Amino acid sequence: SQAPVKVTVTGAAGQIGYALLFRIASGQMLGPDTPVALSMLEIPQGLKAAEGTAMELQDCAFPLLDSIQITDDATQAFDGTSVALLVGARPRGPGMERGDLLSANGGIFKPQGQALNAGAADDVRVLVVGNPANTNALIASSFAPDIPTTRFSAMTRLDHFRAVGQVAEKLGVPVSDVHKITIWGNHSATQYPDLFHAEVGGRSVADQVEQEWLEGTFIPTVAKRGAAIIDARGASSAASAANAAIMHVNTWVHGTPEGDWTSAAVPSDGSYGVPEGIFSSFPVTASGGEWSIVQGLEIDDFSRGRIDASVKELTEERDAVKALGLL
């Protein structure tokens, strides 16, 4: 049988970590043929809770779970890792300015990038979930010069699934009928969920809904869903975020279905006028473990304005991180 694949989860004792680890260990991320050697990275205060989660993982007797490592040392956690899920991040506190937030996260993602560079396996894939995810991916990848930039991506799959769910509900169709949804830009309230290329029944979704619903309901519902969940649940999205992370890696490794695409924030190659190097969400396909940006889509003025606004926020984040000496 196959050798175990090392999977590292940072922020393993957090709420997304709790929803994520059991699904990884059960084989839902890498598939039923791949044993997993789990590594859980936490800060010292999180280690005890991580040990509790590890006890529960043991109590599941998952046949695919080869071993569990718990550590507060990034070098150990990333040594030999093939899949790194960077979930732990510094949340925005009350009154915290963007500069403070970026600087606090630079303090996490710079050393993690360096540790990945030093010890990750040659085939490593890195998914950044912790916010601000796009810019944290930029920081981590810039401190891992020996790992191709394209091995890093940031998660907008949750936004993608939120958009799928809203369209399915609006048109009264199963989610499996909704294709070619795109999230463009930043994983933030400026993101642009695009229905002009989305299809249901072989026809553009934009032609099947009113422009007023698209602009006044759909876009704000998707972009502000995170806040709505905090308001209702008293805690931020966790199981849905973990699900999106599972599916992001699963797609990255196993590919997208023929004739469809998904959304992920990948380093721009300049496609669609997005400045090269920033991590921006695009329509992407995956094959052979590599993302490709879907090319040649027509972008009308409405979409252009929305994409540009979100990309502007990303370039500002990049410039702020540069000013902090983090790039």
The token pair at 258 is 């023929």
288 is in an annotated binding site: no
Q: Does 38 bind ligand NAI (CB under 6 A)?
A: no
101, 102, 115, 129: residue in contact with ligand NAI (rule CB under 6 A): 129
Residue in 160, 179, 187, 197 annotated catalytic: 187
Is the dihedral angle over the CA atoms 27, 248, 87, 123 positive or is it negative?
positive
- Shortest spacing between CB 48 and ligand NAI, in angstroms: 11
For ligand NAI, the closer of residues 142 and 237 by Cβ is 237
Residues 96-115 binding ligand NAI (CB under 6 A) are 108
Parallel/antiparallel/unpaired status of strands 65-71 and 83-86: unpaired
**Residue 314 sits in the site that holds ligand NAI (CB under 6 A):** no
Three-class DSSP category at 69: strand
CA-to-CA distance for 86 and 109, rounded, in angstroms? 9
User: x/- string (CB under 6 A) for ligand NAI, residues 178-197?
Assistant: ---------x----------
Compute the chain's Rg from CA coordinates.
Answer: 19
- Residue tagged 């876009």 (tokens): 219
CA atoms of 137 and 7, how far apart (whole Å): 18
Q: Counting Cβ atoms within 10 Å, is residue 187 exposed (0-12), middle (13-18) or buried (19+)?
A: buried
Our answer to whether residue 187 is catalytic in this structure is yes
Q: Exactly one of 88, 106, 185, 267 binds ligand NAI (CB under 6 A); which one?
A: 88
Residues binding ligand NAI (CB under 6 A): 10-11, 13-17, 41-43, 46, 87-89, 91, 108, 129-131, 133, 155, 158, 187, 236-238, 241
Catalytic residue positions, numbered:
187
